[in-house]
A = this chain, B = another copy of it.
């Protein structure tokens, strides 16, 4: 896996969990689907566990399960849980504070990014895990790939 955000990974894993609600799925199995390492899976799902989205059980037949129905899990919750920003963090250089222009640019950029972040979150709220899962089921070979419903 190269440089893809943990958010996609989390969503992918969650859809798998949703599609197989009968039994818990192990990190190793998920890692094969996601083409990554079991430890990476645990890291990602671990943060989702802290957010109350999934639960892990140890021992025999242990593994991961969803804690809530997929229709009640919004992408926003997953997004928030991951603590990730879809936006690039444009750190302000500490040495520049002497220059008023830097402060202004940083301030404008910061305000803008905060606004944008809220906007993105509002949009993510409208998509649920179930929405994604339903898109994945019907035609796995001919995805529409256009105009979905999140606009």
Chain B neighbourhood of A15, CB < 8 A? 101, 104-105
Q: Is A57 an interface residue (CB 8 A)?
A: no
Chain B neighbourhood of A3, CB < 8 A? 89, 91
Chain B neighbourhood of A87, CB < 8 A? 86-88
Q: How many copies of the chain does the oligomer comprise?
A: 2
Chain B residue at minimal CB-CB distance from A3: B91
A91 near B2 (CB under 8 angstroms)? yes
- What's the nearest-Cβ distance from chain B to residue A109, in Å? 6
B108 near A148 (CB under 8 angstroms)? yes
Q: CB within 8 A of A136: which of B11, B19, B104, B109? A: B104
Q: How far is the CA of A103 from the CA of B135 in the complex (A)?
A: 10
Chain B neighbourhood of A90, CB < 8 A? 4-5, 7-8
Q: How far is the CA of A120 from the CA of B90 in the complex (A)?
A: 15
Digitize A126-140: 1 where CB-to-B-CB distance is under 8 Å, 0 elsewhere: 010001100110001
Chain B neighbourhood of A106, CB < 8 A? 8
Q: How far is the CA of A99 from the CA of B16 in the complex (A)?
A: 11
List residues of chain A with CB under 8 Å of any chain B CB. Answer: 1-5, 7-8, 11-12, 15-16, 19, 33-35, 84-93, 95-96, 99-109, 111-113, 115-116, 119-120, 123-124, 127, 131-132, 135-136, 140-141, 143, 145, 148, 150-151
A-B contact pairs, 6 of them (CB 8 A): A8-B109, A85-B88, A86-B87, A108-B148, A108-B150, A112-B124
